[in-house]
Structure 1
Amino acid sequence: MSKLRLMMIFIPMVIFSPLAIDIFLPALPEMASNMSTSMISMQWTITCFILSLGIGQLIFGPLSDRFGRRPIALGGIIVYGISALLMSMIHQFEWHIALRFLQGIGACSIVVTAYSSVRDRLNTTESSAVYSYLNGAICCIPALAPVLGYHLSRDFGWESTFLFMAGFAVISGLLIYFTFDESRPATSTSNSQSISFANYRAVLAESKFTFHAILVMLAMSIILAYVSSAPALLMDKLGLSQEDFTFWFSVNAVVCIVASIIVPHIAKNLGVKRAIELGLVLLMGVGGLLIVQETITSAVNYMIPVIVSSIGFSLLMGVCTGQALSPFKHTAGTAAAVLGFIQMSGAALLVTFIQAMGFGASEQLILLSILVLCTYIYWKIPRFNRKILAHN
């Protein structure tokens, strides 16, 4: 199978998750009104999805090794599509949250099998190129999906965004059913021990992995706090229209795309350790910028620190992921599953806890920046630094 044909299959598979996060954001105020709940409560529809996305990492990676990539992917698409269809018809908040969790489980199984299949079919050099293209496709969704969601919700109501997800699942499901062949190697595990907590503990025992996984989680937490809190702050409190909100969200997404492209060059020129340090400084600077402003009176006041955090996020995600997985040459799949769980579920739980304490949008980012500062100080302790030293 040619790489072009593979890309046509894999790109729809990897954008299930960002599509489900970004397309309905402009419609959150309308959804909150229809479900008779607050914008603060509607934040759960994002954090719950991310939480299930992380939990699924520990499950579907090993299951795809045992049962194959194709059945896990197709099963996930069915779950994703049915969940989206039901959410377009059910207006009860509690049922919506339950279905969002289920939708996240479906999305996770699709993405995990896509990345596993790339590894199955291609060598290291070829797979690295494909991963780059797939990450580029993922980065484009936050810029495009809110624009589409704005027009859909404006013309047809918020339910149309979930109907679009269901339709996307049907079309992509048919494409994958007829073109996605099984790729699981014959040597993959097929016994009942494919999900092994002992293997997970071995990964967590590696200090280099744990430290860089925490950095990834904190970076993800800042982005999640922004994505889940921005609609309430910008549209509900500051009075931005859906169109203006979509504009600012897309601007930040474009910054993420550009930053993702230049990060490899920065890491190459600065070295891994200095690139990580730069990313941490940028994330810490977010808190400083917000503290100096004291109060948020316009979208610019809030979005400038957010854009700074997105650059720091892009720096840390790629570099820290590589560092975290570097000790696991022969167990990269298990290590990647644990890393994904910490990144997604850890960030979701941390942000949910902070939001439950009643902190506002800017206060959440300030608190998370303080946690980054604490991690940075700990990193500078010579005895600890030697254990997790990032080699160039």
Structure 2
Amino acid sequence: MSITTGEVTTARRLRLALILGSLSGFGPLTIDMYLPAMPGMAGDLRTSSSMVQLTLTVFVVGLAVGQVIVGPLSDAWGRRRPLLIGITLYLVASLGCAVAPTVGWLIAGRVVQSLGAAAGIVLARAIVRDLFRGTAMTRFFSTLMVVNGVAPILAPVVGGQLLTVTTWRAVFLVLAAIGTVLLVAVFFTLPESHHARTRPRGTLSAFRTLVTDGHYVRYVLAAALMFAAVFAYISGSSFVLQEAYGLTAQQFSLVFGLNGLGIVLLGQLNGMLVGRVAGEGTLLRIGLTVATAGSAGVLVCAALGLPLLLLLTFLFVVVSMLGLVLANATSLALDGHGSAAGAASSLQGLLQFLVGGLAAAAMTLPGPVTAVAMATTMLVCSAAALFVAVRQRGSAE
């Protein structure tokens, strides 16, 4: 069972968007849904809050490492087999987390769960590259941003509502149910998309080619730096907005959801504009310019103590630009690496989480997270992304 680019009908495009968008949303879905439950988990498992926090840390690390493992394997084995194995791991690990008697068990379950989620994220990008080229690929990535963007909007809300009627363990049962649905959907409706297999020993050669390709590295780095700017917001905004500005948990969830909606809207707008109004390179630079200006606005608001509504407006601008930037940068980076799309996708995923993690860590170096520290990190990362992207001027648009 296989599929070729010419067979991607409108109905199949919609099905692909729903399945691949859900797979690429594994990360934010699995992180955000159980965030509201973390305080209660410490008491139930008779452990410290720092140990519960470790369950989040190991998941993010596993998400990064898992992509580097699965991506090259899919170039050799095809996309379908590693994807089915990954979803199965995710499903089993989610059930294991739900019945975890100790925090050690939970940490182990989160490690396995992260490896399964990594397969979904990295292979969703690789499959898109298998099936599409050029502007068509960019438009499909924009469509994925619409589906993917729903995860950070709904996940905290669903997690919070579950806690009103049951315990944190139900969150992992819901994640297991989602994994089951996706496993069935992939098994019955997602054929093999990668036919030009590479030998496993060619993996190092593929990585060497990628890291020496300036075109690929610059676009992937631009995407990673923009991701880091938004990751700084994700990591610091709960402390800044609730502790410094006095928002309640419900008000913060609303702000978080609205910013996620911005990613969806800009992803949809990008799909409408690319190839019709401007090329990928132009839209990428526009997105990064607006994000940098918005980050500067956040910093000015934080430093001068300007009204909260103005700060939230600038935050919305910055976060929304992720929908514009990631689709174009990813398309430009992967376009020339069809035979090694798995490896190319895996390096992009690794770099995003690595740079994002370093940015979040740097934000906390001076001490507790403040609005100024968060805004400064966002500005540095978005400005660096713009600098990298501008250096690509003159490349194919």
Under a length normalisation based on structure 1, what TM-score does the superposition of the two structures give? Answer: 0.80
Q: 1:136 aligns with which of 141, 146, 156?
A: 146
Note if contact 2:36-2:160 (Cα within 8 Å) is conserved in structure 1: yes
Tell me the equivalent position of 1:87: 97
Q: Deviation digits for residues 242-275 of structure 1, max 9, x if unmatched? A: 4323211111111111111112455554555553
Higher mean C-alpha displacement, 337-346 vs 176-185: 176-185
Q: 2:298 aligns with which of 289, 301, 309?
A: 289
Q: CA deviation at 1:360?
A: 0.7
Higher mean C-alpha displacement, 273-282 vs 73-82: 273-282
Q: 1:210 aligns with which of 202, 211, 217?
A: 217
Name structure 2 gaps, 5 residues minimum.
4-10
Tell me the equivalent position of 1:334: 343
* 1:304 pairs with 2:322: no
* 1:76 pairs with 2:86: yes
Pick closer, same or farther for the CA change 1:159–1:348 going to 2, 3 Å.
Answer: same
Q: CA deviation at 1:80?
A: 1.3
Tell me the equivalent position of 1:16: 26
Q: Deviation digits for residues 40-88 of structure 1, max 9, x if unmatched? A: 8866555543433232222212212333433322221222123223333
Higher mean C-alpha displacement, 281-290 vs 291-300: 291-300
Q: CA deviation at 1:151?
A: 0.8
Query: 1:1-392 residue pairs with structure 2 within 5 A?
Result: 3=12, 9-10=19-20, 12-31=22-41, 37-38=48-49, 45-46=55-56, 48-90=58-100, 96-117=106-127, 131-185=141-195, 187-189=196-198, 191-196=199-204, 198-235=205-242, 240-265=247-272, 269=277, 272=280, 274-285=282-293, 286-294=295-303, 300=309, 303-328=312-337, 331-355=340-364, 358-362=367-371, 363-374=373-384, 376=386, 385=391, 389-392=394-397
- Please give the alpha-carbon distance, in whole angstroms, between the structure 1 residues aligned to 2:362 and 2:95: 30
SS of 2:197 mapped into structure 1: coil
Q: CA deviation at 1:359?
A: 5.0
For this pair of structures, how many residues does the alignment match?
A: 383
- Please give the alpha-carbon distance, in whole angstroms, between the structure 2 residues aligned to 1:298 and 1:265: 34
Note if contact 1:293-1:301 (Cα within 8 Å) is conserved in structure 2: no
Note if contact 2:80-2:191 (Cα within 8 Å) is conserved in structure 1: yes
Q: Deviation digits for residues 316-367 of structure 1, max 9, x if unmatched? A: 2222223333554654443333222212333234423543563515313312
Pick closer, same or farther for the CA change 1:174–1:332 going to 2, 3 Å.
Answer: closer
User: RMSD across aligned C-alpha pairs, in angstroms?
Assistant: 3.7
Note if contact 1:65-1:188 (Cα within 8 Å) is conserved in structure 2: yes
Under a length normalisation based on structure 2, what TM-score does the superposition of the two structures give? Answer: 0.79
Higher mean C-alpha displacement, 274-283 vs 77-86: 274-283
- Please give the alpha-carbon distance, in whole angstroms, between the structure 1 residues aligned to 2:94 and 2:115: 12
Higher mean C-alpha displacement, 71-80 vs 130-139: 130-139
Identity %: 25
- Please give the alpha-carbon distance, in whole angstroms, between the structure 1 residues aligned to 2:389 and 2:264: 28
Higher mean C-alpha displacement, 369-378 vs 294-303: 294-303
- Please give the alpha-carbon distance, in whole angstroms, between the structure 2 residues aligned to 1:244 and 1:54: 31
SS of 2:182 mapped into structure 1: helix
Pick closer, same or farther for the CA change 1:158–1:65 going to 2, 3 Å.
Answer: same
What amino acid is aligned across from residue 237 of structure 2 in structure 1? Answer: A
Pick closer, same or farther for the CA change 1:297–1:20 going to 2, 3 Å.
Answer: farther
- Please give the alpha-carbon distance, in whole angstroms, between the structure 2 residues aligned to 1:371 and 1:118: 27
Note if contact 2:301-2:311 (Cα within 8 Å) is conserved in structure 1: no
SS of 1:358 mapped into structure 2: coil
Name structure 1 gaps, 5 residues minimum.
none
